[in-house]
Amino acid sequence: MGYQTLYDRSLRDPAGFWAEAAELIDWDRPWDRVLDDSNPPFYRWFKGARLNTCYNAIDRHVRAGRGDQPALIHDSPVTGTKAVITYAELQDQVARFAGALRSLGVAKGDRVILYMPMVPEAVIAMLGCARIGAIHSVVFGGFSARELATRIDDAKPRVMVAGSCGIEPNRIVPYKPLLDSAIDQAAHKPEHCVILQRPQEPGVLIEGRDLNWSQAMAEAEPADCVSVEATDPLYILYTSGTTGQPKGVVRDHGGHAVAMVWSLRHVYGMAPGEVFWAASDVGWVVGHSYIVYAPLLLGCTTVVYEGKPVGTPDAGAFWRVIQEHQVAVLFTAPTAFRAIKREDPRAELLKRYDLGRFRALFLAGERCDPDTLEWAQRILGVPVIDHWWQTETGWAIAANCLGIEPLPVKPGSPTRAVPGYDVRVLDDAGEPVKPGDIGRLMLKLPLPPGCLTTLWGNDARFVQSYLSTQPGYYLTGDAGYMDEDGYIFVMSRIDDIINVAGHRLSTGGIEAVLASHPDVAECAVIGAADQLKGELPLGLVVLKSGVKRDPQTLIQELVDLVRDQIGPVAAFKTVVIVERLPKTRSGKILRGTMKAIADGKDYKLPATIDDPAILGEIQQALEAIGYAKPR
Ligand code: COA
Ligand code: AMP
């Protein structure tokens, strides 16, 4: 069936469409209703059904004879190790870990927070939670103790699972002290921590509270899969909101499992037994969906890569992994390809490798610039697919669906809406705009299975953040347009979210940290264009009157403060001290205009600007630090 037929059917008859897709999952009990639309704007998929996600991801494959197939390949250039875990071995380890959690009192519905590097144990811990119906929440290792503490207080986990350290190419990041500090800072105190002791930097265990992973595993009684409701939560994943308080995106079991297998087949064109590699991190949604759940639910082999696209050891790292593990499809962020291109523009290193089985490259997480797309197409000679999605949806909203029918590529566009997503471009009044005109990218409800069902413990914030702008529609937070052929172009965010190396950050969150410095009167953070990372946060601060400080020392304090309070992942390195910030007459800081200045772009003088002379001062200050090409 062609793309258009399938797409039309998915919108005309969502219940029929997704019921058919649900045949890819083993259910303990069938649903009463495919789509429960009795309580809008809350929609629930597969109401009444029961299943276990871990059973579907592991046990059923072992039963079907895939026990000896590699389920997971760990490739870690930063430690110089590689390991292969078969489905049978994974079943054994996950069952043991689930048993260990149970012996610590973790039961269905309890939360478990994971703070782990890219090691198989991260996957084992996630699946171990799913096995007993506990709800995991993975926090990316590049976040600070304070960010971890915020998540602890929101999710209120019974148990934490952490690696003793993460390994970056240039340093070891001791996670254990960060974990201890986070628990100190949090009001909620988890009962236990299970610590994976890594030889590079073991952590100091606190008696009575902390357990060693290997000992816990050795003593554990394997636990069986617990049947849960399709609508029960599988995980919480925190993502940047427009305030310092992150949003806990909740994903359910049933809809998620269906969306994962369906999308891996139809969007990525994968088949059971093939090797899929998402070069991301388990701390991000890409990691949840396409390192862990989708490949295992479909019976593929997944690669867990603990390294970077460059520097571990060189810009040929991705080609080596593809060759060595016979990867069929790679998924990464455009930044990774920009990094490779910068180091090896003629792709000389690629000539050393045979990418025999490699079929396609998928890019997402940030806007894919046509240069990077075309370079990747040229050097790889396989389809390069830009696709658009977000933490909240959990899988692609728009893509060129290789598993359905490849459509012609238009560089700069993630192609057309994926079956299940009714994408509309609306103006501020909620009216559809003409093809080619920019508006808010919105999704008509109901969202397909696998998308967020709410924000953890906060239905009201879920409705207010996503569903209240235009009743009946979900607000993606992105602005863009659709052309005459239905191709979607995602141009920018309409909120204060910026995208740094495919990582999502709130400039408001960084501003709150800068404003907490005793010498800062007011500040603004903008996402300035960066050739490698897409955007980088740039801080502009006004000092309190009378403050006389050495500027370099103060700037370093501010950089350190953001690193300490948000984490290295913010990549916050640039601050400029200015006399005043440009504002509207009503006092709103003109961040968009400052971004245009920083990026050297033309801008219209805002009609409501209070004092246009300030823009000249900002131009000068930014030029002095290498931004804002002189005009
Ligand atoms: N634990 C602790 N610290 C971490 C970390 C982790 N898991 N991951 C990153 N960091 C740190 C880095 O060490 C770096 O710290 P530094 O300021 O001391 O150098 C900082 O966070 C920023 O990291 P990163 O964004 O990875 O930048 P980089 O300069 O080290 O590497 C790239 C640049 C392009 C190679 C890298 O951004 C990359 O691989 N991008 C691919 C994009 C991607 O995977 N996106 C995920 C979403 S799909
Ligand atoms: P995250 O939730 O971290 O995955 O970030 C999601 C956001 O990244 C989206 O809302 C977009 O702003 C941006 N994004 C993701 N993929 C794309 C893409 N293919 N093109 C443009 N922007 C993208």
Q: Is 67 a residue whose pLDDT tops 90?
A: yes
36: buried, middle or exposed (CB in 10 Å: 19+, 13-18, 0-12)?
A: middle
Please state, in angstroms and as integers, the Cα–Cα distance from residue 282 to each residue in 118, 123, 136, following that order: 7, 8, 12
Q: CA 371: distance to chain centroid?
A: 24
Residue nearest (by alpha carbon) to ligand 2 atom 5: 390
Measured from the Cβ of residue 145, the count of other Cβ atoms closer than 10 Å reads: 23
**Shortest-distance atom of ligand 1 to CA 280:** 44
Poorest-pLDDT segment among 145-149, 304-308, 571-575, 603-607: 603-607
Which atom number of ligand 2 is nearest to the Cα of residue 286?
Answer: 4
Q: Encode pLDDT of 430-476 as tens digits.
A: 999 999 999 999 999 999 999 999 999 999 999 999 999 999 999 99
Indicate if the alpha-carbon torsion angle 583, 588, 594, 596 is positive or negative: negative
- On the 0-12 / 13-18 / 19+ scale of CB atoms within 10 A, 613 is exposed
Convert the pLDDT of each residue in 295-350 to its tens digit: 999 999 999 999 999 999 999 999 999 999 999 999 999 999 999 999 999 999 99
What gap in Å lies between CA 84 and CA 89, rounded to an integer? 9
Q: Is the CB of 365 under 6 A from ligand 1?
A: yes
Residue nearest atom 10 in ligand 2 by C-alpha distance: 390
Peptide bond into 313 cis (omega under 30): yes
C-alpha 108 to ligand 2 mean position (Å): 32
Predicted local distance difference test score (pLDDT) of residue 240? 85
Taking the C-alpha atoms of residue 216 and residue 124, their distance in angstroms, rounded to an integer, is 13
The CATH number that applies at residue 538 is 3.30.300.30
User: Residue 306 Cα, ligand 1 centroid: separation in angstroms?
Assistant: 11
Note the pLDDT of residue 60: 98
Assess if residue 606 is contained within a domain: yes
Q: What pLDDT score does 630 carry? A: 60
Residue with CA closest to ligand 1 atom 41: 336
Taking the CB of residue 265, how many other CB atoms lie within 10 A of it?
A: 20
Q: Find out whether the beta carbon of 173 lies less than 6 Å from any atom of ligand 1.
A: yes
Q: What is the pLDDT of residues 606-627, one digit of tens each?
A: 889 999 999 999 999 999 999 9
* Host H or E run for residue 83: strand 81-86
Q: Looking at the CA of 497, which ligand is closest?
A: 2
> Taking all residues of the chain, what is their mean pLDDT, rounded to a whole number?
97
Closest ligand, as measured to the CA of 568: 1
Asked whether residue 156 carries a pLDDT value surpassing 80, the answer given is: yes
Cβ-contact 302, 73 below 8 angstroms: yes
Q: How far does residue 535's CA lie from ligand 2's centre (Å)? A: 13
Asked whether 441 and 432 are in contact (CB, 8 A), the reply is: no
Please give the Cα distance from 262 to 258 (Å, whole number): 6
In a domain, 315, yes or no: yes
Q: For atom 4 of ligand 2, which residue has the closest CA?
A: 390
Q: Does the C-beta of 240 come closer than 6 Å to ligand 2?
A: no
- DSSP classification of residue 201: S
Q: Is the residue at 305 inside a domain?
A: yes
Q: Does ligand 1 lie within 6 Å of residue 95's CB atom? A: no
Give yes or no for residue 569 CB within 6 A of ligand 1: yes
Closest residue by Cα to residue 541 from 570, 511, 584, 498: 511
Name the residue at shortest CA distance from atom 14 of ligand 2.
366
Question: By C-alpha distance, which of 585, 583, 584, 603 is closest to 593?
Answer: 603
- Confirm if 445 and 418 have CB atoms less than 8 A apart: no
pLDDT above 90: residue 245: no
Q: 286 CA to middle of ligand 1, Å? A: 15
Q: Strands 233-239, 247-252: parallel, antiparallel or unpaired by DSSP? A: antiparallel
Does residue 352 lie within any of the structural domains? Answer: yes
In a domain? residue 73: no
Residue 491 to residue 423: CA distance in whole angstroms: 15
Task: Give me the numbers of helices (H) and strands (E) for the chain, helices first please.
Answer: 20, 32
Domain boundary among 334, 360, 386: 386
Local confidence band at 629 (pLDDT 50, 70, 90 cut-offs): confident
500 C-alpha to center of ligand 1: Å?
10
Please give the number of the atom of ligand 1 that sits closest to the Cα of 332.
48
Q: Residue 337 C-alpha to ligand 1 middle, in angstroms?
A: 14
Q: Is 303 in the pocket of ligand 1 (CB under 6 A)?
A: no
Q: Going by CA atoms, what residue is nearest to atom 24 of ligand 1?
A: 569
Ligand nearest to the CA of 396: 2
* Burial call 287-312: b when 16+ CB within 10 Å, e when fewer: bbbbbbbbbbbbbbbbbbbbbbbbbb
- Mutation test of ligand 1: which of 79, 138, 335 has the most ligand atoms closer than 8 Å to its C-beta? 335
Tens digits of per-residue pLDDT, 260-272?
999 999 999 999 9
Q: What percent of the residues of the chain are helix, what percent strand, and what percent coil, each to the nearest 5?
A: 35, 25, 40
What's the pLDDT at 1?
A: 81
Which of 364, 386, 408 lies at the terminal end of a domain, its last residue?
386
Query: Is 631 within a domain?
Result: no
Ligand nearest to the CA of 148: 1
DSSP string over 402-458: TTT------TT---EEPTT--EEEE-TTSPBPPTT--EEEEEESSPPTTS--EETT-
Q: Is 45 helix (H, G, I), strand (E, B) or coil?
A: strand
Residue 164, domain member (yes or no): no
499 CA to centre of ligand 2 in angstroms:
8
* Residues with Cβ within 8 Å of residue 580, at least 6 apart in sequence: 542, 611, 614, 617
CATH assignment of the domain containing 347: 3.40.50.980
How much is the CA Rg of the chain, to the nearest whole Å?
24
The conformational region for residue 59 under phi > 0 = left, psi -120 to 50 = alpha, else beta, is alpha
Picking from 353, 386, 419, the residue at the C-terminal end of a domain is 386
User: In which domain, by residue range, is 534 found?
Assistant: 501-623
Which parts of 413-486 fold into alpha helices (H)? 459-462
Query: Rounded to whole angstroms, how far apart are CA atoms 25 and 114?
Result: 26
Residue type, 511: E
Looking at residue 328, its pLDDT comes to 98
Tokens of 252: 């359910």
Task: Report pTM.
Answer: 0.96
Question: Quick check: is 535 in a domain?
Answer: yes
Asked whether 72 and 120 are in contact (CB, 8 A), the reply is yes
Domain count, the chain: 2
CA of 223 to the centre of ligand 2 (A): 38
CA–CA dist 596, 529 (Å, integer): 9
On the question of pLDDT at 525 being above 70, the answer is: yes
Residue at 246: amino acid letter: P
Q: How far does residue 307's CA lie from ligand 1's centre (Å)? A: 10
Q: For 132, how many CA atoms within 13 A lie in the half-sphere containing its CB?
A: 26
Cα of 374 vs centre of ligand 1, distance in Å, is 24
List pLDDT tens digits, range 365-394.
999 999 999 999 999 999 999 999 999 999
Please check the confidence at residue 631 and state whether its pLDDT lies above 70. no
Smallest-distance ligand from the CA of 175: 1
Q: Which ligand is nearest to the CA of 559?
A: 1
Q: Please tell me the predicted confidence (pLDDT) of residue 115.
A: 98
Q: Are strands 42-47 and 233-239 parallel, antiparallel or unpaired?
A: unpaired
